[in-house]
Structure formats: structure tokens, C-alpha cells
């Protein structure tokens, strides 16, 4: 443990054994299943399905402190809800067979650990995040089916330190949506297609399962990953909060990679505060990921505490606003009014003449080839492909199951090579960072005197991706046909707390999120 809750808490280990052999026991050695249903330390109430709808971390903590709920009760309630309802959603790939045992351990150590920030909070993780337990991590690919990591991802280790319960793994767009141009968001060969709980609407990508599961109230929060839009896009599509932090605030160690310079993990939750709590638990420097060793890090990400000397100001990018369809534009205008009601000044007419696409894709192709080859090389012999070339051939050998939508992006990355030393890659990366950051987002913020730029859904996310800058998506409302729309806030490096504060004030003033009817 990290010791943040005191010396007593630091001495208690809340992890089940890591099995070195491939032969894992059917039941964890320390899972006393006969006693899981009894906990005399709490005077309990039954947790109903209605209790789970829009449950927040704060409300859960109140129930725990009063002795009316236990960690085990909530964990079992979510597991039952997933088993009953996920057939319509197809968001959860697997549940943690040891989740109940871990919850029982927390209950048994309530006096020592109850003050941990995520004590007993059940979370679901995207399928590209390693966990050193009996769950698998496959990036949605059948090529990695059954793969068990030897170590937790660094961020997962921090979540455990904070007291979180890892409830399961959720579906994602295979290889983080870097396999085929024709592959629909939310599809993987391992998990199939994830659906939108609001109906036949887009699901966003590639952290689709992360957003769908938390929107359907399958957990208190989830963790996704983003290279370019993969947290904020599904967050908007499923009417939840998604935070894509400044690259470097959260370690990528133990995460199946796509890009060396753009990848980051980030939280998805139903409220801004819950997402900020999860973010804060993961945001630590990691010597194994030099990108995280930033000289200046925010003191806190939690909203409602900022001592601001002036009024918060946001700006509408004119070129983007003109392209919105009538239904989306109506929701956006309502969101602007909501921002003003929250005391936030809205400036219109901002000019941001930056192309939204990366160009020829050199940076992602090179970085993916280099990163994924290094990932495969670090795996134990015989556990999956040896490199990208072998992955491509393995997929070709089983096209019916593995190549439903092809693999042109994998093939293009292999053909382009993975050199990160030549002038073509170096200049492409530098040009992208400069045009999106210094000459794009930063210039607009300074020129117009605003703290954040406004978009909807995933528009503008490519600029933040190339610059490594943060994004926050918060529910803005619904079109007349019922499609969720997200308000996207974009800012400069390390402005994460400021964006979170703006989103928090907007959320409190508008309360736009509504739970999907089919999952109430």
C-alpha cells in the first residue's frame, strides 16, 4: 500500500496471490466463500437495483460510514446487475472471479482502511490495462486470448492502493481502433459489438465498453484509454463524464500501447466529482514511464476547491459551430446558456484555423509499429505473436474469426516500419505538436483571453491529442431523437483542474444526464 491512510493501513495487503503457473485454482485460497455473506461489523440494509441507479462515490461512502452497506454487498449487487443486463449491451468481457473476496477483505479491515479515497469502490477496466490476477488483458484481440499479465499496470497498482475493487474488464475497439478503417467503434474479435444503452446511436471509440458500462450503472466508474478521442468520444455518446488528462499525468506502464507520445489512461464516470476522484488516485510519477516525470503537477484535481481571482471564460470556435447539424446545434446553444447560468463567461467567434486531421498518419504508424513490437518482445515466449508481422500472419490464418473487418492499419504500420530516428518522423511529430499546441490551442486561448475552448462530442480532440493536452467531456443534453450530446472542454497542458472545475460548475447548474431508460 502507498501509506496515504496512515501506517496501520500501509501494513495491510489487499491483493490475492499471483499464481506463477498456468494452472490457477478454481477458487482463490483466501476466499472463504462460506463466510462471505456474513459480516457482523455492519448493520446492513438490502441494496436494491434502484439503489444502483446513478449511485455516486460520495453516497456510497455515506452508506458505508453509517454501517448500512458493506463493500461486499455493493460488489455483489453490481455483479448481479451485470449478469442480468449486459446481454443487451455486450460491454463487459469478464468479471473478476475474486472481486467478492477482495470486497470481504476490505470489510474486514474497515477501521484501518475506511479512509482510503476509493475504499470499496467497484471499477471496471478497459481490456488493454494489465492486472496481475485471474483476469485476462487482450486489447480485444483473439491473438492475445487468455493472456494473463505478471504485474499490475502502474495505474492499477495505484487504484488498489486507494482501495478500489477491480470488478472486471470491458470491451473496446480492437487494438484501440488501430486495426482497420472499416472496423466499427466498439467491436473486437474477442468481445463482439458493444451497443449504446440509449438505443441505435453511435457508440464512440475505442473505450466504448468503459463508457457504456458506467452509463448503464454497472460500476461506480471505469478506466479507459485515449490516443485521439477514445475517452471523450464514447463519453459523449453515452452521456457520461470522460477525462483525458494531460499526457504524462498517468503512467502507461502495463498498458497495451498504440502511440508513444499520445497515449494516456483516463477515468469515465457519471459525475465530474467521481471522475476526478478516480483520476487523482492514478496520477503519480512512474520511473518506468519517463513521460510521467513532469516537473510541475497539479496539487489536486478535485473540483469545488479552486480559489479563482477572476471569472472563468470559455470560447466557441466559430468554424466548428457552423458545421453542427440543427439538432446538435440546439443542444449546444442550450449548453452555452447553462455555462452562463453557472457564472461562466462565453465568448463567441473564435478563429482556430488548424486542420483537424493528422495529415499522412506518419506519427501513429511509426509509433504503433515500434511500441507494439516492443510490447510483444516483452511477453513470455509462446504467449501471443512475437511481433507485428507475426500478428498479421496469425490473423490471416483465421480470417473468419479475426478479420471480419480486415487489418489494413496493421499492414500499413508494418510496411512503414517503426523507425523513430529519421527526419520524416521527427519533423512530422514536431509539426503536429507545434501546430496543434503552440500555434493552435495555446494561441487561441491567449488571443481571446479564455480558459478553455468549446466543442461537442469528439470535435477538436485530434488537436489535443497531437499536443498532449487535456480534454473533459460532460453531458450536455439530448437531441430531439434522443441521441446524447457531450460538451467538450479543451485547454492547454496541465490545465486539467481548470477544465474539471468548469465541467463541475456546468454539471451542477444544468444536471443534464439522464440514465438510459432500458437500464433503469
**Residues noted as catalytic:** 126, 206, 230
**Secondary structure of 131-161 in the HEC alphabet?**
CCCCCCCCCCCHHHCCCCCCCCCHHHHHHHH
As a whole number of angstroms, the distance between CA 159 and CA 58 comes to: 17
Task: Compute the Cα dihedral for 218, 221, 222, 225 and give only its sign.
Answer: positive
- From residue 113, alpha-carbon distances to 31, 42, 258, 423, 499 in Å are 19, 15, 36, 52, 31
The grid cell for 365 is: 504508424
- 208 within 8 A of 225, measured Cβ to Cβ: no
- 171 within 8 A of 186, measured Cβ to Cβ: yes
- 40 within 8 A of 49, measured Cβ to Cβ: no
Long-range contacts of 379-388 (CB under 8 A, 24+ apart): 379/147, 380/150, 383/147, 384/143, 384/144, 384/147, 385/143, 388/413, 388/414
Whether omega before 173 lies within 30 degrees of 0, making that bond cis, reads no
The grid cell for 391 is: 500478428
Dihedral pair phi/psi, residue 168, rounded to 5°? 170, -175
SS3 101: helix
As a whole number of angstroms, the distance between CA 144 and CA 375 comes to: 12
- 100 within 8 A of 76, measured Cβ to Cβ: yes
The grid cell for 433 is: 505538436
Specify the residue for cell string 477483505: 105
- From the number of C-beta atoms within 10 Å of its C-beta (0-12, 13-18, 19+), residue 35 rates as exposed
The grid cell for 201 is: 446511436
Q: Hey, how many other C-beta atoms are within 10 angstroms of the C-beta on 518?
A: 13
Burial 54-79 (b: 16+ CB within 10 A, else e): ebbbeebbebbeeeebbbbbbbbbbb
- 271 within 8 A of 507, measured Cβ to Cβ: yes
270's CB contacts (< 8 A; 6+ apart) are 54, 56, 214, 215, 217, 221, 240, 241, 513
Half-sphere exposure of 319 (CA within 13 A, CB side): 8
Dihedral pair phi/psi, residue 186, rounded to 5°? 85, 5
Amino acid at each position: 500500500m502507498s501509506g496515504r491512510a496512515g501506517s496501520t493501513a500501509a501494513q495491510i495487503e489487499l491483493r490475492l496471490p499471483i499464481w506463477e503457473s498456468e494452472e490457477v485454482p478454481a477458487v482463490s485460497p483466501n476466499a472463504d466463500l462460506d463466510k462471505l455473506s456474513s459480516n457482523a461489523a455492519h448493520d446492513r440494509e438490502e441494496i436494491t437495483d434502484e439503489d444502483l441507479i446513478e449511485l455516486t462515490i460520495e453516497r456510497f461512502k455515506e452508506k458505508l460510514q453509517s454501517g448500512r452497506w458493506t463493500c461486499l454487498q455493493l460488489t455483489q449487487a453490481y455483479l448481479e446487475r451485470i449478469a442480468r443486463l449486459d446481454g443487451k449491451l455486450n460491454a463487459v468481457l469478464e468479471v473478476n472471479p475474486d472481486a467478492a473476496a477482495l470486497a470481504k477483505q476490505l470489510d474486514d479491515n474497515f477501521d484501518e482502511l475506511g479512509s482510503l479515497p476509493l475504499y470499496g469502490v467497484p471499477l471496471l477496466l478497459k481490456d488493454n490495462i494489465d492486472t496481475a490476477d485471474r483476469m485476462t488483458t487482450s486489447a480485444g484481440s483473439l491473438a492475445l486470448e487468455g493472456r494473463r499479465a505478471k504485474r499490475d499496470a502502474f495505474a492499477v497498482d495505484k487504484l488498489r492502493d486507494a482501495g478500489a475493487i477491480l470488478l472486471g474488464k470491458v470491451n473496446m475497439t480492437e487494438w484501440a481502433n488501430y486495426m482497420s478503417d472499416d472496423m466499427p467503434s466498439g467491436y473486437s474479435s474477442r468481445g463482439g459489438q458493444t451497443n449504446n444503452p440509449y438505443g441505435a446511436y453511435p457508440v464512440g471509440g475505442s473505450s466504448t465498453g468503459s463508457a457504456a458500462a458506467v452509463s448503464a450503472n454497472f460500476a461506480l466508474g471505469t478506466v479507459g484509454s485515449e490516443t485521439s478521442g477514445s475517452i471523450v468520444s464514447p463519453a459523449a455518446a453515452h452521456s457520461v463524464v470522460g477525462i483525458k488528462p494531460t499526457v504524462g499525468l498517468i503512467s502507461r506502464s502495463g498498458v497495451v500501447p498504440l502511440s508513444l507520445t499520445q497515449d494516456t489512461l483516463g477515468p469515465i464516470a457519471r459525475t465530474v466529482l467521481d471522475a476526478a476522484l478516480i483520476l487523482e488516485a492514478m496520477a503519480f510519477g512512474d520511473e518506468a514511464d519517463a513521460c510521467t516525470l513532469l516537473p510541475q503537477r497539479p496539487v489536486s484535481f478535485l473540483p469545488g476547491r479552486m480559489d479563482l481571482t477572476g471569472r472563468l471564460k470559455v470560447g466557441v470556435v466559430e468554424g466548428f459551430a457552423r458545421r453542427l447539424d440543427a439538432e446538435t446545434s440546439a443542444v449546444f446553444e442550450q449548453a452555452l446558456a447553462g455555462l452562463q447560468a453557472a457564472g461562466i463567461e462565453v465568448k463567441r467567434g473564435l478563429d482556430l484555423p488548424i486542420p483537424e486531421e493528422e495529415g499522412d498518419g506518419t506519427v501513429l504508424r511509426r509509433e504503433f509499429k515500434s511500441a507494439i513490437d516492443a510490447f510483444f518482445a516483452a511477453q513470455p515466449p509462446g504467449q501471443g505473436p512475437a511481433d507485428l508481422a507475426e500478428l498479421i500472419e496469425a490473423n490471416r490464418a483465421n480470417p473468419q474469426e479475426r478479420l471480419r473487418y480486415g487489418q489494413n492499419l496493421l499492414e500499413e504500420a508494418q510496411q512503414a516500419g517503426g523507425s523513430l530516428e529519421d527526419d520524416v518522423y521527427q519533423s512530422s511529430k514536431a509539426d503536429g505538436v507545434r501546430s496543434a499546441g503552440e500555434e493552435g490551442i495555446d494561441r487561441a486561448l491567449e488571443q481571446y483571453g479564455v480558459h478553455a475552448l468549446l466543442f461537442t462530442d469528439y470535435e477538436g480532440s485530434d488537436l489535443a491529442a497531437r499536443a498532449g493536452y487535456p480534454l473533459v467531456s460532460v453531458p450536455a443534453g439530448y437531441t430531439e431523437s434522443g441521441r446524447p450530446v457531450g460538451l467538450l472542454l479543451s485547454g492547454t497542458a496541465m490545465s486539467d483542474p481548470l477544465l474539471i472545475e468548469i465541467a463541475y460548475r456546468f454539471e451542477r447548474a444544468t444536471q443534464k444526464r439522464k440514465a438510459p431508460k432500458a437500464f433503469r
